Every structure is written in C-alpha cells, then in structure tokens.
C-alpha cells in the first residue's frame, strides 16, 4: 500500500483550505500515511487581466488546472486537488478523477451593499463576476443590471467591493466562503471593516456543474493511488458527479459553459434539472430528468437542451 502521497494544489487560500480538508480526510482513514503538499501558480492565477465573460473558441479550458495536470503526468505529484467546477469536461488522456469528498453547499451568495437580496439591488446596478454562467443568469433574472468582470481570490474580491463605489454587489460560492471560515448563516458578511448582506441565490440561480465538490485527480496508471483514494470517496456525491460530468461531456463543455444544474438524490434515484444559455438568446433552454443511472439521466437532459 502507498505510504507517502504528494498532493498538488493551487496556492490560493481557498485551494489550500480544500487541500487541508483532503489531507484531514486521508489521515482520518489512513493515520500512518505521510502527506506532502506542493503548490502551483496556474495561468488563471497569473492572467488576472484576462476577461472570462466573453466566450471564445478556447474558453477557459485548463486555465486553473493545466499546471497540476502536467505535474501528475510527469510524476511530480500523486494527486491533484481541484474544485470540480474548475475542471474541463475533457481531461488530458491518461488522467481521471479517482474520488470526491462529500459535497458542500452548492448555492451562490449575493454579497451586496444593499438589503433585500437580488430584488433589492438598485435599477441599473452593477454586479461583479468572472463566471459566464452567473452573468447569463443575472441577465435573465434582472436584465436591467450591468455585469462587470471581477477577478481575484475571495479576499481580493471582497476588498474591491468595499473600495469601489461603482459596484453594488458580487456573487461568490457559499462553499468557498464557508471553507475559508467566513460566517454567512446570519445573512451578513464582514470583511476589513465593511459589512455586506450575504443572501442566498439558491432559489434563483442554478449552480455550476460540480459546484461545492472537491475532486481528487490522478494519473490513470497509478492503481495503488486510486485504491487509496477510494477510501475517502463519498458515494452519494460520486453519483451526482457522474451525472453532472456526463452532461458536461455531452454538451462538449469546459468550465466556462453557461450551464447550471441542480442534482438531487432520493431513494436510489437521480433527479436533475438544468438550464443552458445560447449566445444572443436571453432565455435559457431547460431540461429535467430522473432515473437510477446517472449517465442516462444526463443523456436525456442533454437531448432536451440541444433540441430546444
């Protein structure tokens, strides 16, 4: 059995927090395991001036993952720790997701200078995000709002919101905020002297594929590593991930695809609903399906979205 393991991760505070969760899960299951951590700066971390909202033929494919995947393939690390929503649908040949940790909250939070959530934003207000999925849904729900590119780690985004009077709100994943230790249950969020309303968008906006999931990626030839990681795999999350990743694959999507999903598991059934935004069309295509085989559920939804 593998006795040492090198985890690769981005160097951001959130990525390191997710790696610590992975480390803790592994040590809880395998207390004698020696774990090392190696950090990487990805192209997405370097190119903070890159506008991710307009879609291009390259999309955002591999922007936050390529350096870790190259390290897996050349043996510098044993496991790459990812936010699953950052992983493109088509991974490089020879790599696979070996396991996933239990899914955290999937919803987005509107972090706002105003009260009243999304409806409380002023007419023509400005909202910052780097996610095309969030931008398209905002345009659908509140077409009067102006959406602007907003890059940087969580702390940088919160700092900018406090400093820039031209912006009214930003959107952040609840899972990321909670993993960084921000208290949001009260409906408010404090940071460096600023106090914002933090209201759930779960009822209004569809989450990203894989949102709230920490994925552990390996070189497919590393059977011993795969076997070890199976010891921390969360079965229910794995089923949901199978459905969502298959939908992403069928739609030929990378992590910038403007698709949102909600996936629920109940009594052995997978129930999923999805929205997909096409260029120039403000109203999304919609699909729903339920079944016992995740991939079949994904295929039915993909067919509905593509035929709309």
Strand 146-148, strand 126-128: pairing? parallel
| Catalytic-labelled residue, pool 32, 45, 74, 86 | 86
- What are the distances in angstroms from CA 183 to CA 20, 175, 177, 191? 19, 11, 8, 11
Contacts of 182 (CB under 8 A, 6+ apart): 154, 189, 191
- d(CA 249, CA 83) in angstroms, rounded, equals 17
Is 51 catalytic? The answer is no
User: Do 248 and 263 form a contact (C-beta atoms < 8 A)?
Assistant: no
The DSSP letter of residue 209 is T
* Joined tokens for residue 284: 């999304």
What single string gives the DSSP state of each residue in 122-161? PTT-EEE-S-HHHHHHHHHH-TTSEEE---S-HHHHHHHH
Active site residues: 86
């Amino acid at each position: 059995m593998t006795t040492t393991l090198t985890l690769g991760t981005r160097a951001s505070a959130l990525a390191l927090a997710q790696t610590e969760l992975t480390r803790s899960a592994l040590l809880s299951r395998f207390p004698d395991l020696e774990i090392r951590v190696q950090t990487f700066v990805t192209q997405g971390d370097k190119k903070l001036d890159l506008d991710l909202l307009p879609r291009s033929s390259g999309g955002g494919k591999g922007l936050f993952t390529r350096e870790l995947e190259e390290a897996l393939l050349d043996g510098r690390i044993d496991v790459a720790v990812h936010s699953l929503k950052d992983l493109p649908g088509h991974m490089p040949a020879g790599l696979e997701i070996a396991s996933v940790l239990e899914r955290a909250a999937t919803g987005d939070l509107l972090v706002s200078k105003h009260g009243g959530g999304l409806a409380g934003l002023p007419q023509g207000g400005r909202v910052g995000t780097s996610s095309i999925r969030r931008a398209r849904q905002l345009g659908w729900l509140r077409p009067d709002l102006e959406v602007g590119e907003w890059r940087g780690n969580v702390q940088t985004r919160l700092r900018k919101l406090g400093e820039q009077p031209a912006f009214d709100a930003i959107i952040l994943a609840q899972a990321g905020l909670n993993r960084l230790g921000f208290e949001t249950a009260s409906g408010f969020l404090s940071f460096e002297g600023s106090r914002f309303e933090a209201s759930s968008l779960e009822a209004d906006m569809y989450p990203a594929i894989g949102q709230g999931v920490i994925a552990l990626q390996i070189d497919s030839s590393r059977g011993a590593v795969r076997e070890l990681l199976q010891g921390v795999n969360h079965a229910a999350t794995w089923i949901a991930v199978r459905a969502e990743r298959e939908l992403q694959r069928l739609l030929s999507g990378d992590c910038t695809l403007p698709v949102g999903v909600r996936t629920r598991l109940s009594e052995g059934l997978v129930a999923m609903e999805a929205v997909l935004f096409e260029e120039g069309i403000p109203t999304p295509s919609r699909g729903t399906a339920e079944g016992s085989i995740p991939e079949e559920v994904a295929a039915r939804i993909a067919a509905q979205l593509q035929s709309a």
